Chains A and B, each alone.
Chain A
Amino acid sequence: ENNEHYQRRIHFQNSLKRQAFLNSALKRSDQSARYGINQFSDLSPQQFKERYLTARTETAPKFDPSRTGIQVKMN
């Protein structure tokens, strides 16, 4: 069970189940997001998170057009 190839196959099987769930959203249309096999399908969600979801956030102030120097044009 520690075999890496075996683990990847398990992750891949789990990916297929997860993708089926994600594709089952209500009110699907031609424009709806599609989920399926890609280069990350043999990673577990935890591995994917650790490798690729590495951005840190800092709390940003709420945007107030009257207080910032940014020009805003509204139609």
Chain B
Amino acid sequence: YPPKFDWRDHGIVGPVRNQESCGGCWAFSVVEAIETVSAKDGGKLQQLSVQQVIDCSYENEGCNGGSPVGALDWLAQTKLKLVNEAEYPFKDMAGICQYFPQSHTGVAVRNYSAYDFSGQEEVMMSVLVESGPLVVIVDAISWQDYLGGIIQHHCSSHNANHAVLITGYDTTGEVPYWIVRNSWGTSWGDNGYAYIKIGNDMCGIADNVAAVFL
């Protein structure tokens, strides 16, 4: 695998979203992963509906929280097609699940994987290159004040609470780091992105890692 890799360089990562006051990071991270893997597999890059997942993934709690792996499991089991964002736009609150017939155009999840890669972050890089962006759950307590740069301290690995998407990594500099796409708008962090040191399970980034297969 290359020393430096970012799915953004392949033109298949959409713009940073803003979850506003909705605690739906679990849905944002999953939908963003599906968008990029769909484009990687030959589809066109399109924004898919986060609201559909928030409203319809009944085992999760909409804007009050949820599990990315739970959402992936539900998507893989139901084969529900995610429709375009424009057809089912984000409303910053959970609502009634809107039904679309199976004949409707959309993207369905075939399968997913979820593993603990702690102590194996080099292997995780390889999986990212092979499979696409990775959905991870991190401890983001200190991210309240983050402005940019590589997070190397003040981030525990035992209190995962926020779902984000790893789009790439860079090991060419003094401090190797993961490139992380957040869903708190472009005014947060580095145009909506954060960078996390590779190698020490910083922020618990390797503890709960999911990949999507379409």
Going nearest first, the 5 A-B pairs with the smallest beta carbon separation are A54-B65, A54-B23, A53-B161, A63-B115, A35-B145
Question: Is A2 positioned at the interface, with any CB of B under 8 Å from its CB?
Answer: no
Q: Are A55 and B68 in contact (CB under 8 A)?
A: yes
Interface hub of A19, A38, A56, A68 (most chain B Cβ within 10 A): A56
> Assuming A65-B123, A74-B122, is B115 touching A35 (CB within 8 A)?
no
The answer on a CB contact under 8 Å between B174 and A31 is: yes
Cβ–Cβ < 8 Å partners of B131 in chain A: 70
Residues of A within 8 A of B (CB): 15, 18-19, 22, 25, 29, 31-36, 38-41, 43, 45, 48-49, 51-63, 65, 68-75
Q: Which residue of A lies closest to B155 (CB)?
A: A33
A65 CB contacts on chain B under 8 angstroms: 123
Q: Which residue of B lies closest to A74 (CB)?
A: B126
| B127:A72 contact, CB within 8 angstroms | yes
B163 interface residue (CB < 8 Å to A):
yes
Q: In the complex, given contacts A35-B145, A54-B24, A58-B208, what are 20 additional A-B residue pairs having Cβ atoms less than 8 angstroms apart?
A: A22-B145, A29-B175, A31-B173, A31-B174, A33-B146, A36-B147, A38-B145, A40-B145, A45-B141, A54-B23, A54-B65, A57-B67, A57-B208, A58-B67, A59-B116, A60-B114, A60-B207, A63-B117, A63-B124, A73-B130
B76 within 8 Å of A (CB atoms): no
By a CB distance below 8 angstroms, the chain A residues around B123 are 63, 65, 72, 74
A63 to B119 alpha-carbon distance, docked (Å): 10
Instruction: Give B contacts to A, CB under 8 Å.
Output: 1, 19, 21, 23-26, 60, 64-70, 113-118, 120, 122-124, 126-127, 129-131, 137, 140-142, 144-154, 160-163, 173-175, 184-185, 187-188, 195, 207-211
Q: Is the interface of B mostly helix, strand, loop or mixed?
A: mixed
What's the nearest-Cβ distance from chain B to residue A53, in Å? 4
Bound CA–CA A7/B187 (angstroms) = 24
Whether the pair A52, B163 counts as a contact (CB closer than 8 A) is no
Whether the Cβ atoms of B145 and A49 lie closer than 8 Å is no
Query: Which B residue's beta carbon lies closest to that of A15?
Result: B145
**A57 CA / B210 CA spacing, docked (Å):** 11
Indicate which residue in B1, B65, B147, B188 contacts A34 across the interface (CB closer than 8 Å): B147
Residue pair A39, B26 in contact (C-beta under 8 Å): no
Report the minimum CB–CB distance from A73 to chain B (whole Å): 5
Q: Which chain B positions have C-beta within 8 A of A53?
A: 23, 140-141, 161-162
> Min CB distance, A44 to chain B, in Å?
10
Known A-B contacts A32-B152, A51-B23, A54-B23; the reply to A70 vs B188 at CB < 8 A is no
Q: A18 to B163, Cβ gap below 8 A? A: no
Q: How far is the CB of B204 from chain A (nearest CB, A)?
A: 9
Asked if A22 and B154 make an inter-chain contact with CB atoms under 8 angstroms apart, the answer reads yes
